[in-house]
């Protein structure tokens, strides 16, 4: 289960994740914390080194540990009833691992690819579906800031309509209805130490370190 989170996430994520939730493996395999593709301080001043260190080393590691423990318990469960009882832990920790593995690649230093949306398929699709890049960011920020409690904001590709759509998911639920193109963590651990409870400031700042090149690659791969 969740073998997809051990390698680079691909646009078929939704389909594979759905299969993983539906049919967990009876053999528990160790998931590991992926390395960041940049230094902990590389996203400053938009995301602080302290936040990145805690977010990656503590929070993501906790989801990895929880997923491994849940899969081991599932593999050793003597009854279907006990396996069913583990579904919530598998979903929460597995979703946390999937979401964060994608999130780290979703970001890049502002001195590199971060914040730079150049002419190409992603920009064309955003302008087609939202009118302009600025309007897209405005709507994305508003919907993501409106998440009650904890969750994620997503730019997802709807394979049925062939359009980009903004979706939110609660807690650590992975995005299964769309192929994730951009995901933003709106849990407080992602921003509170720097932005306190002002979600709009965090959401405005994060666009400076969004890796649009990675997002465009996901879109091209799924189309």
Give the start-end residues of each E strand in the chain.
Answer: 151-158, 163-170, 179-185
User: Cα-Cα-Cα-Cα dihedral of 100, 101, 106, 107, to 10°?
Assistant: 80
Q: How far apart are CA 126 and CA 120, in angstroms?
A: 10
Provide the β-strand partners of residue 158: 163
Dihedral pair phi/psi, residue 130, rounded to 5°: -125, -5
Q: How does pLDDT run along the chain (223 residues), one tens digit per residue?
A: 444 344 444 444 444 444 444 444 444 469 999 999 999 999 999 999 999 999 999 999 999 999 999 999 999 999 999 999 999 999 999 999 999 999 999 999 999 999 999 999 999 999 999 999 999 999 999 999 999 999 999 999 999 999 999 999 999 999 999 999 999 999 999 999 999 999 999 999 999 999 999 999 999 999 9
Q: How far apart are CA 177 and CA 95, in angstroms?
A: 14
Q: How far apart are CA 127 and CA 106, in angstroms?
A: 20
pTM across the whole model: 0.85
């Amino acid at each position: 289960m969740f073998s997809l989170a051990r390698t680079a996430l691909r646009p078929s994520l939704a389909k594979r994740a759905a299969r993983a939730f539906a049919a967990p493996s009876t053999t528990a395999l160790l998931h590991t914390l992926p390395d960041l593709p940049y230094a902990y301080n590389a996203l400053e001043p938009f995301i602080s080194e302290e936040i990145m260190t805690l977010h990656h080393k503590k929070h993501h590691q906790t989801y990895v540990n929880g997923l491994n423990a849940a899969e081991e318990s599932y593999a050793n469960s003597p009854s279907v009833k006990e396996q069913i009882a583990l579904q919530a832990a598998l979903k929460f920790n597995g979703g946390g691992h999937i979401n964060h593995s994608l999130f780290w690649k979703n970001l890049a230093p502002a001195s590199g690819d971060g914040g730079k949306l150049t002419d190409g398929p992603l920009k064309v699709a955003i302008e087609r579906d939202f009118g302009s890049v600025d309007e897209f960011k405005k709507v994305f920020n508003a919907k993501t800031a409106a998440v009650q409690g904890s969750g994620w904001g997503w730019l997802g590709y709807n394979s049925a309509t062939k359009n980009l759509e903004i979706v939110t998911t609660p807690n650590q639920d992975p995005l299964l209805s769309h192929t994730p193109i951009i995901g933003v963590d709106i849990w407080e651990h992602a921003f509170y130490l720097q932005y306190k409870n002002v979600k709009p400031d965090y959401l405005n700042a994060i666009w400076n370190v969004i890796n649009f090149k990675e997002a465009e690659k996901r879109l091209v791969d799924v189309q």
